[in-house]
Amino acid sequence: MYVCAIICTMKDVVLTYESALEKAGSRGALETKVRSGGLFKIGRGIYSSSEHPDPLVVAHVLYPDAVITMDSALASYGLTDVPPDKVHLATARDATRISRPGYRQYFMERELLDPGAVERDIGHGIIRIYDRERLLVEVMRRQATLPLDYYREIIASYRRISEDLDIRLVEDYMALFKRQDAMFGILQREVL
């Protein structure tokens, strides 16, 4: 289960196998480091300086082209108090399917993937995540698939921070999608 990593330290380092091998110098040195507790093998091809690294940082290291979205991003921004059960990632439509457990993948056209994606330092690592404005557009796009009480909680959170949002940016993101008129109506009725 995805748990917001309260137990992470400020010095967490998450590495791919290749990076860990390069840092250790050899396969034997890497295995020794893992046995001695200097490095932890988190999963296939992923190592960390902490036994429990932040799942969002791990996701960014494993899938650097993906963007953290929906439930994971909403929890990261504090827009919901419901902890996600999986890490939610947006990827290009032609990306390889993520087969690791603990991930939910959203496919989208490559030209729609990057607008709104920012790199954010969350204290124990860098993640690639949608900004709050793009995330609002994603919530409006997926309104019909979200449980009603969860959707209302998110919209109420956005209503509380509406003065801090760049509404022109939200409108620019909405213009990228076909249902922009419907989303504009949601923005006017429910958020502003």
- Percentage of the chain exceeding pLDDT 70: 94
Domain holding 175, by residue range, is 131-192
Average pLDDT over residues 85-99: 95
Average pLDDT of the residues in 100-125: 92
Over the stretch 138-181, which tens digit does the pLDDT of each residue have? Answer: 999 999 999 999 999 999 999 999 999 999 999 999 999 988 88
Confidence tier at 123 by pLDDT (50, 70, 90): confident
d(CA 84, CA 127): 16
Residue partners of 168: CB distance under 8 A and separation at least 6:
none
Residue 169, amino acid: L
Say whether pLDDT at 188 is over 80: yes
Instruction: Output Rg (C-alpha) for the chain, integer angstroms.
Output: 18
Tell me whether residue 148 is in a domain: yes
CB atoms within 10 A of CB 178: 8
Q: Is residue 191 part of a domain?
A: yes
Per mean pLDDT, which range of 8-12, 27-31, 38-42, 48-52 is the poorest? Answer: 8-12
SS3 15: strand
Is the model's pLDDT at 113 over the cut of 60? yes
For residues 74 and 32, is the Cβ–Cβ distance under 8 A? Answer: no
How many structural domains are present in the chain?
A: 1
Is 79:159 a contact under the CB 8 Å cutoff?
no
Confidence of residue 21 (pLDDT cuts 50, 70, 90): confident
140, part of any domain: yes
Could you tell me if residue 186 is inside a domain? yes
Distance CA 189, CA 170 (A): 15
Domain presence at residue 164: yes
